[in-house]
């Protein structure tokens, strides 16, 4: 299944985060700007067999002004694997493009992440999951002067009634 979309819009009061440095700490000021935006989105889902499928999602943005801390391009590729309907494994690769953060067009570099999700369904109502994020242990900047956490995980149980 392929889904795609193209939109062009005029966004009033779009949030625009500007770094504000004081002597003791960094903050962000929010400036609201009116901006024209072109957004192109594409989704591709393919079921290869009863066990494996492929999902790709991409977004491209083009603005008439420089919008700080927002990437022009993002992409995510995942290959969910279904093991006998009890265990589901979902490896994911994601890419976030460069983002500018000031008037001088200084940029935060692009980021690449590898994640792994494991889901176990004991019954239709009871299950558990483990999400391992940032397997590459990247510690780049997400925002100016704010770095990523690095490798992290999340464990949970769910019950549906």
pLDDT value of position 128: 96
On the 0-12 / 13-18 / 19+ scale of CB atoms within 10 A, 12 is: exposed
C-alpha to C-alpha distances, 70 to 9, 15, 65, 107, 131, nearest whole angstrom: 17, 10, 12, 11, 25
> Cα(59)–Cα(48) distance, rounded to whole angstroms?
24
pLDDT of residue 47: 93
Residue 146 to residue 141: CA distance in whole angstroms: 5
The one-digit pLDDT tens for each residue of the chain (161 residues) are 999 999 999 989 888 788 777 777 777 788 888 999 999 999 999 999 989 999 999 999 999 988 888 899 999 999 999 988 889 999 999 999 998 888 788 888 899 999 999 999 999 899 999 999 999 888 888 777 778 888 999 999 999 88
**How does DSSP classify residue 140?**
-
pLDDT at 28: 78
The predicted pLDDT at position 45 comes to 96
């Amino acid at each position: 299944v392929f889904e795609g979309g193209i939109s062009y819009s005029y966004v009033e009061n779009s949030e625009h985060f500007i770094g504000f440095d004081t002597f003791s700490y960094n903050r962000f000021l929010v400036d609201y700007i009116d901006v024209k935006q072109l957004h192109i989105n594409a989704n591709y889902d393919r079921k290869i067999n009863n066990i494996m499928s492929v999902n790709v999602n991409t977004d491209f943005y083009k603005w008439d002004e420089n919008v700080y801390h927002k990437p022009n391009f993002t992409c995510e590729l995942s290959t969910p694997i279904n093991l006998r309907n009890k265990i589901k494994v979902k490896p994911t690769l994601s890419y976030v493009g460069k983002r500018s953060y000031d008037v001088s067009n200084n940029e935060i570099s692009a980021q690449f992440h590898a994640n792994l999700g494991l889901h176990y369904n004991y019954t239709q109502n009871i299950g558990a999951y483990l999400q391992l994020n940032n397997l590459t242990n990247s510690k780049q900047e997400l925002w100016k002067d704010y770095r990523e956490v690095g490798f992290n995980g999340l464990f949970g149980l769910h019950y549906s009634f």
